[in-house]
A and B are shown apart, each in its own frame.
Chain A
């Protein structure tokens, strides 16, 4: 027995009431509703699953994931934040540092600088194991990228005596991320050449300030890592989703109330239209996507019983902002591949035993 249209609609919506939420947990499991199947069906999933892209910049993707359970959407989000490998500065060898920034503070700042380079080159790189017993613990061109930072500050004698701006008075008064120089080892010179050279994503990050006589001279080793180990390895600035809001008007809201209703929502969510039959000003919902679900409308007595707020259970508005090593769309595809690899690996191990 197939459920009615109203019943399906009811199940699709997570209710947002004034002081509570309702209909929160997923119920699409076999045995939950008598006479309904709900077992996993790949073809059915293929039909129902939809992706709808809204914004596609290299560093910011926004798309809708429709027809998946929260557990799956959440797995993708978690993998994006903490399990997609990236390159970051891990070890700093300080040959000389006479700046006022202490060695460990400088090293910490350096670690957080996002790096980029040839994407095909990154595929050549391998993990570097931390344990000294592991054969891959030793640095090779396959697992370590070397950079140098060598800056000394000197006085600029050409400036007039009245000058007070340090950037004109001295050379190299500020050390920026752009001063990091890539020192290719072995085959890295062919993997990361020309425009694909390893460099900071943003050259204008301020690392330290210097005054005449002070200098910084560092050798820096970068390795692959994941966000689970340290946030500097996380490839995303944010990876998040929200459920699409739903606003249902149960009884017509007309006249002066209509304007009040529109004012309860952010701009563009609702508007006033002339009713075709009565010619009266009536409030209609035009774009629930823009709503923040602030529940302001539920605070007013005149709308009691006339409006229902909620969110659509399986409609995820996914947003990925990359830090720059990979583009956002590549990151999402990598995250899906990582989840797939987990499945294949465990399946393989289970088959063995």
Chain B
């Protein structure tokens, strides 16, 4: 079986040599990079009141929170999500409205509402932390 032996390749040069320094002083702001991927799956009705969406690289984290907030919308008749296969990083979400708004609008509103919720949580946490720290400081 000696014929099948392979010599391991050397480590790539960048791994052993000193890393190069770019002249660009501004750091690339990758936190603003938007890698989100979403597609609309076939709609069953002509008026767009029902639709399924496929989110890529998302799971129960966004799925369940988004389902909850979309179900809070009185114009939405049904909202549910599923992860069709555990080894594919895809999350499907089904939205059906009563017809006043389109399913896409309901999804956009849900995302906006969830964002507002996050802002409230951040504000409350920051003020509460300050209050707790100042009280703790007074005690000691």
Cβ–Cβ contact B122 & A337, under 8 A: yes
* Docked-complex contact B132 and A49, CB < 8 angstroms: no
Contact (A346, B38) CB under 8 Å given A40-B73, A71-B65, A72-B65: yes
Determine which of A124, A337, A347 lies in contact with B27 in the assembled complex, contact meaning CB atoms within 8 Å: A124
Q: B107 CB to closest chain A CB, in angstroms?
A: 7
Give the residues in chain B near A185, CB-CB below 8 Å: 18-19, 21
Q: Say yes or no: is B85 at the interface (Cβ < 8 Å to chain A).
A: no
Is A31 interfacial (CB 8 A cutoff)?
A: yes
Residues in A with CB closer than 8 Å to B40 are: 353
Q: Is A206 an interface residue (CB 8 A)?
A: no
Q: For the complex, what is the distance from the CA of A185 to the CA of B34, rounded to whole Å?
A: 28
Q: Mark the stretch among B1-9, B41-49, B54-62 that contacts chain A.
A: B54-62
Task: Determine if B14 and A141 form an interchain contact, defined as CB atoms under 8 angstroms apart.
Answer: no
Whether, in the assembled complex, A140 has its beta carbon less than 8 Å from a beta carbon of chain B, the answer is yes
A33 proximity list for chain B (CB < 8 A) = none
Nearest CB of A to B61, in Å: 4
Cβ < 8 Å to A, chain B residues 116-138: 116-122, 124-126, 128-129, 132-133, 136
CB distance from A305 to the nearest CB of B (A): 35
* Majority SS at the chain B contact face: helix
> A346 — nearest CB in chain B belongs to which residue?
B36
Give A55 to B19 CA distance when docked, in angstroms. Answer: 43
Interface centre among B11, B16, B74, B104 (most CB of A within 10 A): B74
Q: Smallest CB–CB gap between B126 and chain A, Å?
A: 7
Of the candidates A31, A38, A221, A333, which one forms a contact with B126 in the assembled complex, judged by CB atoms under 8 Å apart? A333
The answer to whether A42 touches B132, judged by C-beta atoms less than 8 angstroms apart, is no
The one of A49, A52, A340 in contact with B115, judged by C-beta atoms closer than 8 angstroms, is A340
Chain A 268-303 against B: per-residue CB contact (8 Å), 1 yes, 0 no? 000000000000000000000000000000000000
How far apart are the CA atoms of A323 and B38 in the complex, in Å? 34
With both beta carbons as reference points, the residue of chain A lying nearest to B16 in the complex is identified as A93
Judging by beta carbons under 8 Å apart, are B124 and A140 in contact?
no
A29-B71, A52-B128 in contact; A71/B111 too (CB < 8 A)?
no
Flag if B72 contacts A30 (CB, 8 Å): yes
Docked Cα-Cα span, A17 to B21, in Å, equals 65
**Chain B residue contacts of A68, Cβ below 8 A:** 117, 121
Inter-chain CA distance A185–B21, complex, in Å, is 8
Whether B34 contacts A348 by the Cβ 8 Å rule is yes
A30-B74 contact, Cβ under 8 Å, with A50-B124, A56-B132? yes
B69 within 8 A of A: yes
Q: A30-B74, A39-B72, A71-B64 are in contact. Are A339 and B27 (CB under 8 A)?
A: no
B19 partner residues in chain A, CB cutoff 8 A: 139-141, 144, 146, 185-186
Instruction: Point out the residues of chain A lying under 8 angstroms from B117, CB to CB.
Output: 42, 45, 68, 72
* CA of A343 to CA of B59, assembled, Å: 13
Q: Is the CB of B122 within 8 A of A336?
A: yes
A187 within 8 A of B: yes
**CA distance in complex: A318, B7 (Å):** 52
Whether the pair B122, A349 counts as a contact (CB closer than 8 A) is no
Complex Cα–Cα for A30 and B62 (A): 21
Determine if B140 is an interface residue (Cβ-Cβ < 8 Å). no
Whose C-beta in chain B lies nearest to the C-beta of A344?
Answer: B115
